Structure 1
Amino acid sequence: MTGATGILAWLAPRAVPGVEVVLPDGYRRALPGPRIATAAVAGDVATTADPDLARVFDLDRIGERGADARAEADARLTWAAARHDVPALATAIAERPALAQPGCADAHEMLVRAIVGQQISVVAATQQLVLLAALGDPLPEALAGDGVERCFPTMAQVAQGADVLRGPAAKTATVRRAAEAVAEGAIDVGPATDLEAMRARLLELKGIGPWTVGYLSLRLGDPDVLLLGDVAVRKGARRLGIGDRVADLAAFAADCAGHRSALMLRCWAAAA
C-alpha cells in the first residue's frame, strides 16, 4: 500500500454498493449533506477537492510536513529492523517507502464498519454493511447515478434499524448500543476527536474491545496503533522475520513507539 493505488486496492473489497464506487482511476461516494465526493487517481497520485476524501487517501499528510512524517516513520522502523536483525523489514521499506495510511470519510460510518467487521472476513462484513446501507436516505435524483444511490445511514437510523443485520445477536446489540451513544452525543467520534477519550468511552460499551477501538483510531489518523491480536498483523510479522508471538511483536514494537501504525501497515502488506 504505497500511495493512491494502494488505497484503492484497500477500498475495493470493502466498498458498499450503492454508497461508494471504486474504479481503477478513482473513487466516488455519497456523504452527509447529502453530497457526492470524488477523487481521481493517476499513476500513484490521488487528487480531490473534498477534505473528507483527502483523509481517505492520506493526503493531509502530503507536502513538507507529511513527507517528513512518513520519512520519520520509515527511519524509525529501519532503525528497529537493524537493532533486532530483521533485514526483510528494512528491505520492504527500501523497496516501498512511505506507505499511505488509509483514512475514512465519515467517522460515524467507520465506527459501525469496525464493529461489524469484528472477527469476520472482509467479504462477510461487506455483506452485512449492504443490509445496513439500505436504511440510508436515497440521494436526490440530481445527485444519484453511476452506482451511487444513497447515503450510509445516520447513527440514529443505524440504532433504529440494526435488526437488519444477520449473525450473532450480541454483535447487533453492540452496533445499536454504539450508534445510540453517538447519536445522543454521549460519545464524540470525529476527525478532531480526542482519540484517547474516545477510546476510553467506547471501551465502556459492552461488546467493544481493543481491536475495534484500535482499528477505528487507525482510520482516524492515529500514527501509533498496533493490533497485536490481529491475525494478519501476526502473519505479516512472521513473514518479515519479527515473529508472530505477541511477546516478540510487542518487544519489536516498543522500539517503534510513535510510529506503530506504520509498522502495522508493513505487517499487513507482508501478509497480503
Structure 2
Amino acid sequence: MTGAPGILAWLVPRAVPGVEVVATDGYRRALPGPRVAGASVRGGVAITADADLARLFDLPVPGAAGLSGADARLAADERLTWAAARHAAPLLAAAIAGAPALAQPGCADAHEMLVRAIVGQQITVAAATQQLRLLAALGDALPEALVEPGIERCFPSMAQVAEGGEVLRGPAAKTAAVRRAAEAVATGAIEVSPASDLVTMRERLLELKGIGPWTVGYLSLRMGDPDVLLLGDVAVRKGALRLGITDLPAFAADCAGHRSALMLRCWAAAAPAPAAA
C-alpha cells in the first residue's frame, strides 16, 4: 500500500456504488454538504484541495499537529527496522526497504467509517460492501447539478442509519449494534470526528453492546491513530509469521507509538500474491 496507488488499491473493493468512484488515476465521492470532492493521482502522489480527502490519502492536513503523511511513515519505518534487527526478522526489514513509507489509509467521513467498521466485523470485504450498498440507499440523493457518473447520493447520516438500519441483512445483533452506535453519534452522546480524543472515543464506543476491540481499533486506525495493533486479527497474525515475527506481542512492545505501521506491514504480507500476467 505504498503511496496513493496503494490507497486506491485499498479503496477499489470497498467502494460503495452510487457514493464513490475509484479510478486508476484518482478518486471521487459524495460528502455531506452535500458536495462532490475528488483527488487525482499523478506520479504516485495524490493531489486534492479537500481536507477530508487529504485525510483519506494520508496527506498533511493544514493545521494538524505533529508529523503527518510520508514523514510519519518514514519515522515508523525507522522504528520497525530497528525492531526487526533486534528480533531477527530480516524479512520485515527487506519489506520496508522494498516498499518504504507504507501509506495508512484514512477516512473522508468519520461517521461513515464507524458504520463501515461495525458492518465489516467478521465478514469478507465483498460481503461488507454489499451490506453498505443496501445502507447507501437510505442516503439523500444529490442535487441534479452535482450528480456524476457513478455518484448520485451521499452516504446516509447517522440519524438515517439509526432509523432505517433494518435494511441490513445478516445477524440481528449486528444490525442492532449499527443502529445503536448511529443513534449515539446522532444524538451527540458520543463524538466521532477528526477532532475527537481517540482514547475517549474508543472507551465510549466500547460501552455500547455489540461494539468490540476490533471495531474501535479499526476505526481509530482509519482516523489516523499511529499506534493501533489488532492482535486478534487473523491476517495480522498470518502476516507477522510471514515476516519472520514469531513473538508478535514482544515485537509490538518495541514498536510502541508506531504499531499501526506494523499492522499495515502484517496485512500487506498476508495479502494474496498478485496473479501472474
**Pair in the same fold by TM > 0.5:** yes
Superposition deviation, residue 235 in structure 1: 1.1
Partner of 2:267: 268
What SS does structure 2 have at the residue aligned with 1:59? coil
Counterparts of 1:225 and 1:124, CA distance in 2? 24
Superposition deviation, residue 61 in structure 1: 7.1
* Number of residue pairs matched by the alignment: 268
Q: Mark the runs of 5 or more structure 2 residues left unpaired by the alignment.
A: 272-277
Partner of 2:200: 197
Counterparts of 1:163 and 1:10, CA distance in 2? 28
Determine if contact 2:3/2:102 at 8 Å carries over to the other structure. yes
| Paired-residue identity, % | 81
Partner of 2:275: none
Determine if contact 2:81/2:93 at 8 Å carries over to the other structure. yes
Partner of 1:221: 224
Residue by residue over 1:216-254, the C-alpha shift from the partner in whole angstroms, topping out at 9 and shown as x without a partner, is: 0000000000011111111110110113xxxx2111100
What SS does structure 2 have at the residue aligned with 1:37? strand
Counterparts of 1:60 and 1:226, CA distance in 2? 23
TM-score where L is the length of structure 1: 0.96
What SS does structure 1 have at the residue aligned with 2:208? coil
What SS does structure 1 have at the residue aligned with 2:16? coil
Q: Is 2:144 the partner of 1:141? A: yes
Superposition deviation, residue 71 in structure 1: 1.8
Residue by residue over 1:32-51, the C-alpha shift from the partner in whole angstroms, topping out at 9 and shown as x without a partner, is: 00000000011211100100
Determine if contact 2:69/2:103 at 8 Å carries over to the other structure. no
What SS does structure 2 have at the residue aligned with 1:100? coil
Q: What root-mean-square deviation, in Å, do the aligned CA atoms of Structure 1 and Structure 2 show?
A: 1.4
Q: Mark the runs of 5 or more structure 1 residues left unpaired by the alignment.
A: none
Counterparts of 1:106 and 1:225, CA distance in 2? 19
Determine if contact 2:190/2:204 at 8 Å carries over to the other structure. yes
What SS does structure 2 have at the residue aligned with 1:142? helix
Counterparts of 1:170 and 1:28, CA distance in 2? 33
Distance 1:128 1:69, change over 3 A: same
1:228-243 matches, cutoff 5 A: 228-243=231-246
Counterparts of 1:12 and 1:4, CA distance in 2? 12
Q: Is 2:5 the partner of 1:5? A: yes
Superposition deviation, residue 99 in structure 1: 0.8
TM-score where L is the length of structure 2: 0.95
Partner of 1:259: 258
Q: Is 2:98 the partner of 1:105? A: no
Counterparts of 1:64 and 1:221, CA distance in 2? 11
